[in-house]
Chains A and B, each alone.
Chain A
Amino acid sequence: MKAVRALVLVSNDPDSLARGAQEVYRRIQDEVKAFGLQDEVSVTMVADIGRHDAVPMVMVYPEAVVYGPVKPDDARTLVEEHLYKGRVAPGLMAPAREMTGRIAWLSARKGTLPAEQRIVLERAGIIDPDDIEDYIAHDGYLALGKALTEMKPADVIEEIARSGLRGRGGAGFPTGTKMRMVARENKAKKYVICNADESEPGTFKDRLILEGDPHSIIEAMLLAGYAVGADEGFVYVRGEYVLAQTRLKKAIAQAEEMGFLGQDIFGSGFNFKLHIHSGAGAYVCGEETALIESIEGKRGEPRPRPPYPTQVGLWGKPTLVNNVETLANLPPIIRNGAAWFKQFGTPNSAGTKVYTILGNVNMTGLIEVPMGITLREVISIYAKGMRDGRAFKLAQTGGSSGSIIPAVLQDTPMDFDSYAKAGVSLGSGALLICNEDTCVVDLAKVLMNFFKSESCGRCGPCRIGTDRAYQILDHISQGVGKLSDLNDLDTLANGLNQFSNCGLGQTAAVPIRDMLKYFRAEVEAHIKLKVCPAGACAMSGIASRR
């Protein structure tokens, strides 16, 4: 890396690219040359910088000034004012908001909660994801070196177990325990799989990790492989994530060239080979056994469990399957120790969680915060309040299998145990925040349509149950539902949960269950009064009150 006076970062996540980030990047480069600054200013494209409100965004270091949305024609002003004359161009600046948050504190938490605490997204948007040297310069592969040269595999597992890290894919299973299960299998061949088939509606945290910091996943896979005794790994990336795949491919090639992947890594005798496997469009492949079937070149239909993949996984071998966000926590834990990690979050849910904030709020995007903050804090502080000052009605967590959280639960801490106690689920970290224009029946219908079309169709309870539930919800939304439908929905919800083979069917009815529990009156209004209180349902010709 050459020494430069200023570093210009242009966002190139898909959102930015769709709005001409490429052209902005080119024009800034042209202008830098035009002002003769090419030797002292470096212009780079980077993935997400943690906000999505004003893309394409341009960030200028060392002042860390954020501009956005930047149009190609703004390039001249930006370069002339900021880089040539050395003053910020206020007209182009993005709306004010903390970037790293280490400076802002919440009074509600008496100064104990930083506005954002980035662990897994620490480097995303800061480094050039296409440059392994940039990663290394930011403590990259330090954890791998430490593990391979100073720690035994069992030490790595114990450190992870002590940290209290739990799976971030939705289930919250203790990561250290899962590692122990694979490690104790006495087999010569084992696999490590990174589940990057991120398809939960509203969730895109894994995409940002892969796009912004692909080497962190490679390093994490190496650590996991060393810990459990695997010499081969797969990153299963969903087919739609083209940029993430490109970045990862490049990163793997660089790591192989530098000897981080391959034979006898760090002279430790540890070998590791890493493949990328592209999905081909199937939500259910995010289920770990379906994902394994898919790598084996079959239909992505979940296997019956047990046996669990920790014993009988890919090609019948013990296999460790972890979510991207879970893995991204491994290098920092090994680098800084379990005690460091435990200082974040709550006693039973250590660390941070990446949330995607969506819906009818002023600020959509993504935050990484300690476990245990509340929905109210998310809405008022990070989302900058409800859009147009409307009232908060409900939030849907964790993609489609997540819960519908009514306003009464907005002060419940968002960690695995508190949410479980309240009877709701944290899921994959999407927070779809809705105002009173959202009809709960309409929302449940959209969610059920998702499960209906994404059900693999192999087991009857899921294939038939989701379809039938959708029909009933559709009838209610047309104003032709019956009160007995609610009992049928209840029966279906129980059946789906108890008799489905995999998590898709088992959690498909969660929104229905929550709808009947918290919003029964609204549902009954559709049936008894033939009115949609939110004015969202068509009610088949009957004019809805507005």
Chain B
Amino acid sequence: MSVETTAVEGIEPGGVYLPRPPLSEEEVRAAVQSAITRRGGAAADPVEMREALIPILSEVNQTLGYLPPEAFVEVGRQLRMPVSQLFSVASFYQMLSTKPRGRHIIQFCESAPCHVVGGRQVWTALQEALKLGPGETSSDGKWTLQTTSCIGICAVGPVLVVDADIYGNVTPAQVTEILAKYQ
């Protein structure tokens, strides 16, 4: 699906950028364990387990900020599924990230209803204020800028989402004001 949303450009392998301290093995294992336990444990009926796979990945993604390779190994071990299959599923969905992201994730709606009421100007202002392009993460690990398809709040477009906060009727002038709210 939307390629921009998972690509973290501008970060060299082995570069300085890290979104947060490296995740320890225990942290990853605990996150996976808690997500699986919440859905009845790995011994549950295989059909139910498969139905629970995406919710489990979503929860781990939410706890850890993204899905590190170790998480796939651990989920695969517990649910007895090949890691390749898990990665194939995770890389499909926009809300699951296989790459580290910034502390704050900005999603800008690029669909037509927001576009025709001034979305383009807001998008330009946003890129300028952050000095980031679509899919990029800032070098200090603070921001990840993403474009998103419609999120269903079209009556108050242009719409901008920072983490879980929704901003509607955004004007280019409001962009810096909104960004300043986040540490």
Contacts and interface: CB of A to CB of B under 8 A. Distances in A.
B173 to A, nearest CB: 17
A231 interface: no
Interface stretch (A94-102, A111-119, A296-304): A296-304
Interface string B135-177: 0000000000001011111111100000011111000000000
Contacts of A15: 153, 155-156, 166, 168
Given A284-B1, A453-B1, A201 B112 contact: yes
Most chain A beta-carbon contacts within 10 A, residue among B3, B92, B164, B166: B92
A358 to B, nearest CB: 5
B89 interface: yes
A14 interface: yes
A278 B96 CA distance: 13
Contact of A52 (B4, B156, B165): B156
Given A202-B154, A356-B155, A454-B2, A282 B92 contact: yes
B115 interface: yes
B58 interface: yes
Interface in B101-154: 110-113, 115-117, 147, 149-154
A279 B96 CA distance: 11
Interface string A190-233: 00000000111111100100000000000000000000000000
B113 A14 contact: no
B117 to A, nearest CB: 7
B93 A282 contact: yes
Given A360-B117, A456-B92, A204 B55 contact: no
B89 A432 contact: no
B116 to A, nearest CB: 5
Interface string A421-454: 0000000001010100010000100110110011
A450 B165 contact: no
A279 B152 CA distance: 14
Contacts of B154: 201-204, 356, 358, 364, 430
A14 B164 CA distance: 11
A281 interface: yes
B43 to A, nearest CB: 17
Interface residues of A, number: 63
Interface string A448-482: 01100111110000000000000000000000000
Contacts of A14: 153, 166
Interface string A341-363: 00000000000000011111000
Interface in A1-56: 14-15, 17-19, 52, 55
Interface in B64-114: 88-89, 92-96, 110-113
Interface residues of B, number: 42
A106 to B, nearest CB: 23
Contacts of B113: 201-202, 358-359, 430, 432
Given A18-B167, A201-B150, A443-B112, A456 B1 contact: yes
Contacts of A172: none
Interface stretch (B8-16, B18-26, B29-37, B44-52): B44-52
A329 interface: no
Contacts of B93: 279-282, 300
Contacts of B1: 281-284, 453-457
B92 A299 contact: yes
Nearest to A55: B156
Contacts of A492: none
B94 A282 contact: yes
Contact of A358 (B94, B149, B155): B155
A84 B77 CA distance: 64
A231 to B, nearest CB: 15
A52 B117 contact: no
A248 B27 CA distance: 32
Contacts of A454: 1-2, 149
B18 to A, nearest CB: 24
A148 interface: no
A199 B149 contact: yes
A396 interface: yes
Contacts of A295: 51
Contact of B111 (A277, A450, A456): A450
B42 interface: no
A400 B111 contact: yes
A204 B117 contact: no
A202 B88 CA distance: 30
Given A282-B1, A446-B112, 11 more contacts: A15-B153, A52-B156, A202-B113, A241-B152, A277-B51, A280-B58, A356-B155, A358-B113, A432-B112, A443-B112, A453-B149
5 contacts: A18-B165, A297-B51, A297-B89, A446-B115, A450-B149
5 A-B pairs with the lowest CB-CB distances in the bound complex, closest first: A281-B94, A297-B53, A201-B111, A280-B93, A281-B95
